[in-house]
Every structure is written in C-alpha cells, then in structure tokens.
Amino acid sequence: MDVQGRDCVPKAQSSEEDQMELRRGPWTVEEDFKLIDYIATHGEGRWNSLARCAGLKRTGKSCRLRWLNYLRPDVRHGNITLEEQLLILELHSRWGNRWSKIAQHLPGRTDNEIKNYWRTRVQKHAKQLKCDVSSKQFKDTMRYLWMPRLVERIQAANAASSTSTAAVTTAVVGTEPMVFPDDHHLGGGAQQVTSSSNNNYTLENSSTTAASSDSFGTQVSPVSDFADYYSNISINHNPNPNCFEAGNYHNNGLDFQCLEQNNPWLDTVDGSDNIFDAEDLYFLQQQFNFNM
C-alpha cells in the first residue's frame, strides 16, 4: 500500500486547518464512508495526513482508532464466545493488562473490545466478590472454578454439535481460526479445550466448534444475591485442583437436578451478567463448606 508522500496539504496550510475545529464524538455514516473509501484507495498509515486528505475533520488518532476498532473488514463484533472467554482469562493471567498482546491471539477482536470485556464483566464480578481482580483470591476463583466451568460448557457445546455435524480439523470461532499462543504450555496451533487429570483444563490439538453466547450474560441469579452470597464465604487456594476438573465435579455427590429445582436463583432467569450459573454457585459453596 502506498502511504508515501501522502501530504496533500502543505504544512502551513494544514496548521491553519488545525485552527479549524476538529470534530469529536461519535462518527457519522458519511465520515465512515469517507474513511473506508480513502483507505480502500490509498491504504492505511500516516493517519494525520490521511485524515486531511480524506477530508475528515478528525485527528489522525481518531481515524486510526475508528478504522482499527470498528471499520476494518476483519473486525468481529458480537458476543465473546466461550472459547474466547477462556482464552482471555488464560492470557490475562499470564500477561496482565497487555490488551493488544492478548488481542493478537483472538482473531478479529480488538484490544479495546477485550479491555471493555474485562472491565465490564470480569472486574464487575471481582467487585461482587469484594476482592481485587489482582488478588490471589480472585485469581484462584478464576482458575479453579470459572475456567474449568468454561471448559465444561465448551465440551458440552462440542458434544452437542458433534452429534449433528462432521468433525472439523481446526478450532473455529465464527469464520476465523482461533490461534492459541505458540508459547502456551501445551503447545501452539489449533487446539481444543479439554479436561485434564493434573490440570484444571488444557488445550489440545483437536476439533471444536465455537460455543456461542456470553456465558456470563445468560446466567441466572440477581447481582445482589450474588454479592451477598460471596460476602459470606472466603475463597482459599484450592487444595485439590482435581476436584474442579471439568466434568468430574458432578461426582461429588451433588444432585444438580434437585438443586436446580430448589435454587431460588434459578427462578429468576433475568439475563443478568454473572460469571457463574447456579451449578457453579452451589458447587463453590460445597467446596468452601468442605474447607471450613
């Protein structure tokens, strides 16, 4: 793409235009078209001069952000899939708030979107747990409950889909292959999440289909109950990670069908945004009762 010599407006003139007020706030459809049109013809880069040449009264920064986060053809919108959630949790636990680095491993997702996801969903629940997202308490909850639970849901979704569809050879999220980091402890390439006897979850080369929808967004229990619930328990480091192994915890003598019938949270399918569903909550409660 030719981004050389883009200066269509002499510097002196452009500084005059700088005096002209720059537009801020939400982008209009016309502005979007201008930007798309211009980039289609001339390519990205040199954002300040691009903004001028495209006739946009925006800063180069603003144009770049609009393009990267919204207009780019390969950008994906919509719910974060279960696999993506798992990957975000995993990568964040490793890299912290390195959003752009994390985004590199989620095709079509932007750092901004992942950051927003983390702030609005994950941090909210840390708040409900009355602990900091960086605290060991919260990290343990993620690692020993949330992530295995995600694995289980992904497996369930895969099992359901495999009964009706032929196996595919790559992990797929939407139309994009999901690429797990090369330095992942279990190796790179297209991988499937699965349970493990010595880990809470693993990713291994296999086939999978994206489990759709935000698992937080479709679960039950009012937020206030959720917060109250956690205020009454303390989360310790899990002494026996295998207990949390996806697919195994049903064997702990819990009758989830019964629980679901008797759990008041399940009566309120309100679409509120919660990390755990009722099974998780009850399971967690059982675990902590054991450890008390």
What DSSP letter does each residue of 267-291 carry, written as one string? G-------SS-HHHHHHHHHHHHHH
Closest C-alpha to 210, from 236, 185, 175: 175
Q: Rule CB under 7 A: which residues touch DNA?
A: 3, 23-27, 45-49, 58-62, 64-66, 69-70, 77, 97-101, 111-113, 115-117, 119-121, 124, 217, 223, 270, 273
Q: Which is nearer to DNA, 216 or 244 (CB)?
A: 216
What pairing do the DSSP bridges indicate for beta strands 208-209 and 171-173?
Answer: parallel
Minimum distance from residue 71 beta carbon to DNA (Å)? 8
Under 8 Å between Cβ of 278 and 262: no
Distance CA 150, CA 268 (A): 22
Minimum distance from residue 66 beta carbon to DNA (Å)? 5
Minimum distance from residue 47 beta carbon to DNA (Å)? 3
Q: Which is nearer to DNA, 99 or 138 (CB)?
A: 99
Minimum distance from residue 100 beta carbon to DNA (Å)? 3
Q: Which is nearer to DNA, 121 or 139 (CB)?
A: 121
Backbone angles phi and psi of 172, in degrees to 5:
-125, 130
Minimum distance from residue 131 beta carbon to DNA (Å)? 17
Q: Which is nearer to DNA, 46 or 184 (CB)?
A: 46
Distance CA 113, CA 76 (A): 10
Closest C-alpha to 45, from 30, 63, 71, 27: 63
Q: Which is nearer to DNA, 48 or 286 (CB)?
A: 48
